[in-house]
Structure 1
């Protein structure tokens, strides 16, 4: 996993580099995140702890890009898959109270799985070793308003496991939806109410809420947006796999509770941070709602859905904690990039500032001066400022498709033609250009582009199909 690279950096560099002082660390973090925000790579909130103490917290950007409403540290973000650790905690609390067992069969609560789900236990759901399919893959596209009940129907209608329970590891959002439903049945109340009464309120997490169809509107909520600034907000009502909103401050309180061990027994907390054992004796990299490093000290989870990206990392020995919440997922930078940079700074190493995505600057120029001016600027950047920019082929390719999707085909065509000029030996650039040329009705030019793509990549089945159709059609 990419995350291992900065984990290794911390191990290797710690004896060599003195840890930054608090002021140096804060300055380094401010420089890094201000740079990322300025160039469209970060819009969100971040909190960093060193030795269990908060040393940096910052909100940068807008909660709503449409009206410019600013983010603050009290802004609530959709948590995505970082929610899974809370779902596992709820299950562990019920295990401590003997209302649930790690070895409780799924079919005891949901007899609908009889005939194909025998052998699935609660612990399998918690560790992604159940064989329960991921409902996102079954649905292909999750409809707005999706509920737990509909997920249950989809899984039962599918009528099969992906593998025998305990024999493999495969990430399953469907398994975690079922886990939250099991918690609700065992607790005798809704999952939302259980979490509120047993975890959020006792820990003072006043800005945290499980979102289902009964939920009241959240105040000061961050809305999700795509890299192009278009609204891409969360619209589901499922729980367990996601379905939570929270703030960096509330996640810091959660981190404190995990460090103190106040919520469940020490035995269960140790299991939560232990890599699950498969039937063949091998270990996975996942515990109860957490990815777990081989050393058992470092645990984390990331999440992403719609415009939201999230990360929570904990070093259980040092007390270092990283919390990142974003509501505009940038195409060229992800949660692990942020985690690697923060980890380097905690280890006393100054990370390089990320390359500036050229697509962002071109998008602005296109809106103010037109595509010709934008491409002229692109040529200048390539000739004299290349070291500061991300000039990968994906930049123009993604930007071109962005304009194509909004119906601005002339702009898309100009961008993708330039991409082919700059990357003439990249099969994907020619494939993309051919697609837009077809949309423009330029069949002869499209045939040339797809033919060139095939020359570069004979295994491009899409190009084979299109060339065949264009050739047959004369």
Structure 2
């Protein structure tokens, strides 16, 4: 063979190898999100539905499709809880009291803290950001409302790969002060004027947590502990970040994944150098505590229910247009940490590292569905939640 023919043969072989690898990856990805069928034919009795659900959960466990906890409650009473898999790479079993990183499900709790302080007259959601964080004077038209509604135009620290690489290289941890410095020095102008558009940005809720801290005189973690979790009896909930309090919970789930994505031994996939922050995530809770939280919101235990109802209203832009987002072909209408397009049903999703979560509350029927995973694919966890919701509503 001539050198040219050899080169062509090598290129062809490499092309076939690349195609084979890509095909294998696609197959594994599709297999990962493929779930066994969960059917509820008309006419099933409640015991028969319970048996069908148990069999489906058994199949999820057998096929290793889920690692975490699933809970169903009605009117504050748990009617089903199933714990599957391990809380860490050592195989510690998940229990009823295991606390999971809620990731973005945390945001609705951060919004609650802001609304609580407003109810007490300690701030107004119409306040300019600079009233509470004057260091961000370049964003002088942004209000607390803009942060709550993701209409601020600020950049998202969690999507900045250069920032993540710099933190990793210098072994530094991103703290609220570091985030404020990053925002103050960010080289690009905002993508839009506050209120003009909606863009889901984690930085917004970190700043809200910092405002809670500055207004209350407590750290965000201490505020949530003393003003929310302890009064409500949420004994397995806490704000945890890498600055402090990492050992605060006795039964904390740690994120992990398989070493080679779909194969290999389990390896830690938990907090990162970005996790010196909270508010956008890093609130931990057990599934049972989320039932307590649901009841507190319904009953107005800490904040009148009619005041908190604002969190369920769809976000509107400054021109009055209701925000609608397209996610995986579905249209979502965001509220304050909730998806509210299906009112009176509200949902929240979360994903960070190996954690993926689904939280669904029916405000009329009084039902709660919690799906928390510390080792799973976000899409698969969301699909499990949606299939459970459809099954339980039949």
Which deviations, in whole Å up to 9, do the C-alpha atoms of 1:97-136 show, x marking residues without a partner?
1101010100112222223x12211111111111111111
How many residues in Structure 1 have an aligned counterpart in Structure 2?
Answer: 330
Alignment partner of 1:71 out of 94, 117, 123: 94
Note the C-alpha offset of 1:51: 5.0
1-side partners of 2:91 and 2:99: how far apart?
Answer: 16
Note the C-alpha offset of 1:150: 1.6
2-side partners of 1:39 and 1:193: how far apart?
Answer: 41
- Whether contact under 8 Å (2:357, 2:382) holds in the other structure is no
Q: Runs of 5+ in structure 2 lacking a partner?
A: 1-38, 324-332
Cα 1:266–1:80 shift into 2, 3 Å: same
Cα 1:20–1:190 shift into 2, 3 Å: farther
Partner of 1:395: none
Cα 1:59–1:120 shift into 2, 3 Å: same
Partner of 1:42: 66
DSSP-derived class of the 1:129 partner: coil
2-side partners of 1:192 and 1:274: how far apart?
Answer: 27
Tell me if 1:291 matches 2:322. no
Note the C-alpha offset of 1:43: 0.3
Q: Where is the helix percentage greater, Structure 1 or Structure 2?
A: 1
DSSP-derived class of the 2:73 partner: strand
- Whether contact under 8 Å (2:356, 2:374) holds in the other structure is yes
2-side partners of 1:18 and 1:269: how far apart?
Answer: 39
2-side partners of 1:156 and 1:36: how far apart?
Answer: 47
Partner of 1:413: none
Partner of 1:93: 116
Tell me if 1:240 matches 2:286. no
- Whether contact under 8 Å (1:26, 1:56) holds in the other structure is no
Partner of 2:244: 214
Choose between structure 1 and 2 for higher RCO, CA contacts under 8 A separated by at least 6 residues. 2
1-side partners of 2:304 and 2:156: how far apart?
Answer: 30
2-side partners of 1:185 and 1:238: how far apart?
Answer: 15
Partner of 2:175: 147
1-side partners of 2:283 and 2:277: how far apart?
Answer: 9
Cα 1:216–1:224 shift into 2, 3 Å: closer
Cα 1:31–1:93 shift into 2, 3 Å: same
Tell me if 1:55 matches 2:76. no
State TM-score, norm by structure 1: 0.66
Q: CA RMSD in A?
A: 2.2
Note the C-alpha offset of 1:146: 2.5
Note the C-alpha offset of 1:329: 1.3
Q: Larger Cα Rg: Structure 1 or Structure 2? A: 1
Partner of 2:34: none
Note the C-alpha offset of 1:52: 4.5
2-side partners of 1:63 and 1:52: how far apart?
Answer: 25
DSSP-derived class of the 2:147 partner: helix
1-side partners of 2:346 and 2:203: how far apart?
Answer: 22
